[in-house]
Structure 1
Amino acid sequence: MDDPQPPFQSSQVRRAFAAFPHAVRPGLLHLRQLIFEVAERTDGTGRIEETLKWGQPAYLTPETKSGTTLRLGTPKSGGFALYVHCQTALISDFSATFPSEFSYEGNRAVLFTADPPIDDSPLRLLIANALTYHL
């Protein structure tokens, strides 16, 4: 993406990104930027709040309450991940639509490795669905 990263909303989130392993930080920053871009282009989401939940960068829709929380982190299996609330149908619906394009961790995460580029198009759909989950 050519757009610059949005500024961090807190020093705690900035430190969380700085603490991620160097190999996965670019991918996590890419997902972060994608969340902000999708939110800006998705009706009904309102302002995105960037905070920490369970020590991970988390993205919420505090004013509209339209969405479920998205989190970014590093799973124990390696690489990096985009997490959603495990009691939503987001990952099961997404994996049914894109069964072989991504790796999944149950009903809570899409997993990535540091090497291959991320296919933004399907992820935009997942992020938009998460940000408008309660609408």
Structure 2
Amino acid sequence: MDPLPKDGESAAGGEPSRGAAPSSGVVVQVREKKGPLRAAIPYMPFPVAVICLFLNTFVPGLGTFVSAFTVLCGARTDLPDRHICCVFWLNIAAALIQILTAIVMVGWIMSIFWGMDMVILASSKEQGIPQQL
């Protein structure tokens, strides 16, 4: 049984590795799996997303509540197979969770991160970066 190669040695011949050629690399794709609440965040216009972030920062859940109504106005989400009303109620549920758990700071932190996600989604939409579905 051959010993495993040491750091800096390749498996073939025990010679130090000189670095792999760039064309011999493996392409790895990372896809984020989103839960239903996270996938229900709408792709809003950038100024609206910034306003929602501002609202979520100072009044937890308020920006998420406002973003729920953008779904009714035609904002796209990562849940294309769900009905608009279902996505609306998922956003309302997220806002209620943020409001109710803000007392113990969890909801406030969640609310700020939710607002940051809204801004990130809006900026990626404006830049035309394709989103993985």
Is the pair's TM-score, using the shorter chain for normalization, greater than 0.5? no
Asked which structure has the greater RCO (Cα within 8 Å, sep 6+), the reply is: 2
1 or 2, which has the higher helix percentage?
A: 2
> What TM-score, normalized to structure 2?
0.26
Which structure is higher in strand share? 1
